[in-house]
Amino acid sequence: MRRRTDHPTLLIRPSLRRACVLGGLAVGALATTALAQTPAPELWRQVEIIRTTTGVPHIRAENFRAVGYALGWLMLEDYGPRTALGVLRSSGRMGMVFGRDSMESDFLERLTRERAVETYPRLQNETRDVYEGFAAGVNRYITLHRDEYPATMPTDFTGYDIFAGDIGGPAYGGVRRFLAKLDPKQFPPEPRRFGGPPSEGDEDELARDNVGSNAWAFAPSRTKSGKAILLRNPHLVWTSGYYEAHVTVPGQIDFYGDFRIGGPLTLIGGFNKDLGWSTTNNAQRLQEFYALEADPAQADHYLIDGTSVPLRRELVTVPYRNGAGVSSETREFWFTNAGPVIHRANGKIYILKSANDGEFHNGEQFLRMMRASSLAEWKAAMRLRARPTSNFTYADRAGNILMVWNASLPILPHPTGGDTLAIPVTRTSDMWTQYVPWDSLPQFLNPKGGYVHQENSSPHWTNLREPLDTNNRYPNFEKPSLSLRSQLALQLVSGTNKLSLEDVVKLKHSYRMLLADRVKPDLIAAVKATRPTGDVAAALAMMEQWDNTAGPDSKGANLFEVWWMRYGTGLADSLRYTRAWTSTDPTRTPYGLSQPAKAAEAFTWAVAETARRYGAYDTLWGAVHRVRRGPVDVPVGGCGGALGCFRVLNFGREADGKLAANGGDGWILAVEFGDTPRAYSALAYGSSSRPESPWYATQAELFAKGDLKPVAFTPADVEKAAVVRFRPGEPK
């Protein structure tokens, strides 16, 4: 899945890039296989959109094409040009709209689009209908809102262009690191993303731990209602574009959840009347670098299995706008049967072999999951293996709960080379050729204790009653890890008490800072040993009274955070803690402070620094940490994952010195599966990114308070909460 991802410029090294500017009209036109489409001006008749109180759209469509059409229209209406530009990029026409400076991605996008055209007939009709409808919705919106787009913005997007954004591509993320190791002079390493003195770079240090998600599922044995409960709570930056919506086609689909701005079927979590699921990021290695022997006797050939095999050469011509005219540029790309060529040097041909390269069922898999009515049907969709990553946490009306550590994990015939080593290859058997079977991946189905949890740690402690063996069967399997956030989650969910849906929502909004539980006793002892006076003594007394939370009214959390960043930044865990985390004691480590003198010195500094930043060392957490969106400016509780909070929030410093939430916790969905699902949700940044939209800030204060809104799922509930209804693109 590649949507919204720009390709690196270093895919083909300069000596392998052959570029020439050709005057005149464009050459190498896009494939334009005819697609049977209902004209966009007519699709508006087949769908109605009802917005409920906070602006959530409920799409009532007659067919899947109309579902796609409505989603396309809505994403442009609510998020402006972002989706249209993503579709333009997937169509390989950035240069034709914005000129040569914007054409870089067009070369590889056109190769991907060729794959989309080739595989499109192999999709199910319903999937194609969604893609084609989405394209029609985008075209219709642009046509009726030309003032929002460049004059050259096309309005002839097709299902191919939408589908191309969901085609799997090589995992190019590690290429630069690999090439920098291979030839640092030609490919200098990228500068570090994070850094800076502790007094200036605190937010960067914390941000490393703030990208991820939380997910819980409870079996009927653990709930007061005797019904399964699912919690979905992804943590990403607030520009990630989660889009809350409800789509229905009578007798075909009735699904409520989150889509992603940019496409109709890119990445989805939510529920229907029978089941639901959530995704969380996991750590896996799905690609390897290999070094093939170049054939010394034949140009552009490599030797494998005792045979000389030709490289495949692809010439890609991209037109671009050049003033009032159009020019074009042609580049060459080289491929092997195992993956793209990324470098050639010293008789070697270096390639990248990636799982999911060319996979085209991503959208189809999610659509099948959305329509599934049982665990068996849902698993059948998962076995398509089109989604190469992510943990999936599941619950259903039948009372099942499940956590799957999902990955298209290669079975390696060698130790992994990581991003710094290319594995030498002389035979096909030297490379991976198969995936670990899906049913052999770590899975917890209806475990003892009636719960599963996932917070981006390894799956080994998904359930403490049934832990996995920490001796991994596969060398590229995720290494054992259990973050402070995950440990706090276990404290919240691993008991024997029965929970209501409201109890789960309350637990999710825990403000506890587990790091403080683990290190504050040593900090207090270290500072006391210095016999502090004045503000330091007063601050120490405050810390002793602090309840170790990051709630809006917490007094002590600001000082603790500033202190920790001074003390811990740049230190290995073995130098931070008395005992670093260990898999032999996974739920009680890390703890203590290994450098008491350094901790006391950092505390003295932090007292003055906190007062400098925030006006006083005892400022309330919520006086500094805010949710600001439109007219909303309110305190919020939650902290960075490095501090051990379950409600992870990331903040950016504002001009007035306050910290405004901009990532981490943002989308929350909790659902109980009875005969009719009962659910609550909140999307911090609302249904629109447009400040002028009435839906821009409707959920911000709700979110900041730790409250959720009831989800309108049944037709009666939707009608009761309806505030706006319209047919998108209806002629005025």
CB atoms within 10 A of CB 596: 17
Euclidean distance between CA atoms 260 and 74, whole angstroms:
12
* In-domain check, residue 557: yes
Q: Which two tokens stand for residue 654?
A: 């504002």
* In-domain check, residue 579: yes
* In-domain check, residue 316: no
pLDDT tens digits for range 524-547: 999 999 999 999 999 999 999 999
* In-domain check, residue 390: no
Grade residue 467 by pLDDT with cuts at 50, 70 and 90.
confident
pLDDT for the residue 23: 29
Q: Which two tokens stand for residue 127?
A: 């999937």
Task: Give the phi and the psi of residue 436 in degrees, each rounded to 5.
Answer: -60, 130
pLDDT tens digits for range 387-440: 999 999 999 999 999 999 999 999 999 999 999 999 999 999 999 999 999 999
**Residue ranges making up the domain that contains 544:** 514-637
pLDDT for the residue 471: 85
Euclidean distance between CA atoms 201 and 566, whole angstroms:
10
Q: What is the DSSP string of 328-384?
A: EEEEEEEEETTEEEEEEETTEEEEEEETTTT---HHHHHHHHHH--SHHHHHHHHTT
Q: Are 489 and 646 in contact (CB under 8 A)?
A: yes
* In-domain check, residue 731: no
Euclidean distance between CA atoms 460 and 479, whole angstroms:
9
Give the global pTM: 0.93
Higher pLDDT: 584 or 27? It is 584
* In-domain check, residue 621: yes
* In-domain check, residue 446: no
Q: Are 561 and 639 in contact (CB under 8 A)?
A: yes
Grade residue 2 by pLDDT with cuts at 50, 70 and 90.
low
Orientation of helix 125-144 relative to helix 82-90, angle to 10° = 120
Grade residue 123 by pLDDT with cuts at 50, 70 and 90.
very high
Is residue 513 pLDDT above 60, yes or no?
A: yes
Q: What is the DSSP string of 665-728?
A: B-EEEEEE-SSS-EEEEEETT-S-S-TTSTTSSTTHHHHHTT--EEP--SHHHHHHHEEEEE-T
pLDDT tens digits for range 254-287: 999 999 999 999 888 999 999 999 999 998 899 9
Q: pLDDT > 90: what percent of the chain?
A: 86
Start-to-end CA span in the chain (Å) = 38
Task: Give the phi and the psi of residue 346 in degrees, each rounded to 5.
Answer: 55, 40
Grade residue 466 by pLDDT with cuts at 50, 70 and 90.
confident
Residue 556 is part of a domain; what is its CATH number?
1.10.1400.10
pLDDT for the residue 205: 43
Q: Are 501 and 508 in contact (CB under 8 A)?
A: no
Euclidean distance between CA atoms 151 and 344, whole angstroms:
42
Q: Are 232 and 509 in contact (CB under 8 A)?
A: no
Q: Dihedral angle at the C-alpha atoms of 209, 211, 212, 213, nearest 10 degrees?
A: 100
Q: What stretches of 138-228 adopt beta strand conformation (E)?
A: 212-218
Task: Give the phi and the psi of residue 477 in degrees, each rounded to 5.
Answer: -75, 155
Euclidean distance between CA atoms 144 and 68, whole angstroms:
18
pLDDT for the residue 38: 53
CA distances from 615 to 142, 626, 634, 732 (A): 49, 16, 18, 55
E strand or H helix that includes residue 486: helix 484-493
User: What's the Rg (C-alpha) of the chain?
Assistant: 27
Is residue 687 pLDDT above 90, yes or no?
A: yes
CA distances from 294 to 342, 344, 347 (A): 14, 9, 5
* In-domain check, residue 623: yes
Grade residue 170 by pLDDT with cuts at 50, 70 and 90.
confident
Euclidean distance between CA atoms 631 and 240, whole angstroms:
22
Q: What stretches of 594-728 adopt beta strand conformation (E)?
A: 625-629, 632-635, 649-653, 659-664, 667-672, 678-683, 709-710, 722-726
Q: Are 60 and 247 in contact (CB under 8 A)?
A: no
CA distances from 118 to 19, 125, 160, 542, 710 (A): 26, 15, 10, 67, 44
Q: Into how many domains does the chain fold? A: 1
Q: Which residues of 214-241 are buried (b: 16+ CB within 10 A; e: fewer)?
A: bbbbbbbbbbeeebbbbbbbbbbebebb
Q: Which two tokens stand for residue 707?
A: 């409250």
pLDDT tens digits for range 177-229: 999 999 998 888 866 443 333 333 344 444 445 567 999 999 999 999 999 99
Grade residue 476 by pLDDT with cuts at 50, 70 and 90.
confident
Task: Give the phi and the psi of residue 381 in degrees, each rounded to 5.
Answer: -65, -40
Task: Give the phi and the psi of residue 685 in degrees, each rounded to 5.
Answer: -100, 15
pLDDT tens digits for range 18-49: 333 322 333 334 544 456 455 666 899 999 99
